[in-house]
């Protein structure tokens, strides 16, 4: 993924190969900028789960906000390299009190990941660059808080989705 070389305003990147997508392709698309250390993101995850929406997840990991933000994002990408991004994503949001490395190893083991590869992958420059690029791409597009939802029409909605928003998207 090309990394933005500045932080001036720019349109949010279109859906691309680095995006993780879940849900039927016919369902309304919702891009979710989130951070695995963020309680409001866990709430958004809970509210959006099982809804008929095609979710695209993007990292908005701010190291200055939480020291585990970037490591957790990188760990999810490493799980994704073994085809288990969403399962790892769910595990992080559903067990928010356990975010240290041993907890990540437990999640990885439960998902049947190759732990040695997981450990190598989550520390690569490529993975760090992807997380950084998604975060900075979000910043350029006006994302400033987590979670931030981006609707198909380009509307940016900061904060966990209210029921009315979800109903409007899924009706």
Partner 1 sequence: MSVIEAGSEIPDFTLQTEDGEQFGKQDLLGQTSVLVFYPFAFSPVCNDQLTLYEEVLDEFTERGATLYAISTDARWSQAAFKEKLGSTVRQLSDFEPKGAMAKSFGVLHEGGFTQRALVIVGPDGVVKWSYQAPSPGELPGPNLIFDGLDAAAA
Interface residues toward partner 1, by CB under 8 A: 6-10, 62-65, 139-145, 158
> What string of H, E and C letters represents the secondary structure of 99-151?
CCHHHHHHHHHHCCCCHHHHHHHCCCHHHHHHHHHHHHHHHHCCCCCCCEEEC
Q: How far is the CB of 147 from partner 1 (least distance, A)?
A: 12
- CA 168/CA 49 separation, integer angstroms: 16
CB closer to partner 1 out of 50 and 64: 64
Q: How far is the CB of 145 from partner 1 (least distance, A)?
A: 5
Q: How far is the CB of 156 from partner 1 (least distance, A)?
A: 10
Selection from 153, 170, 135 nearest residue 38 by Cα = 135
CB closer to partner 1 out of 1 and 10: 10
CB closer to partner 1 out of 58 and 107: 58
């Amino acid at each position: 993924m090309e990394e933005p070389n500045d932080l001036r305003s720019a349109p949010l990147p279109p859906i691309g190969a680095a995006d993780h997508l879940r849900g039927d392709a016919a369902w309304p698309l919702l891009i979710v900028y989130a951070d695995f250390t963020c309680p409001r993101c866990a709430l958004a995850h809970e509210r959006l789960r099982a809804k008929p929406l095609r979710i695209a997840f993007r990292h908005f990991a701010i190291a200055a906000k939480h020291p585990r933000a970037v490591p957790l994002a990188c760990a999810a990408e490493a799980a994704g390299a073994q085809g288990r991004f969403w399962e790892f994503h769910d595990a992080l949001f559903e067990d928010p009190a356990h975010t240290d490395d041993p907890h990540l190893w437990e999640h990885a083991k439960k998902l049947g990941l190759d732990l040695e590869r997981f450990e190598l992958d989550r520390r690569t420059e490529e993975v760090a660059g992807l997380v950084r690029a998604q975060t900075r791409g979000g910043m350029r597009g006006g994302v400033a808080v987590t979670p931030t939802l981006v609707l198909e029409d380009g509307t940016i909605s900061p904060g966990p989705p209210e029921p009315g928003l979800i109903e409007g998207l899924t009706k």
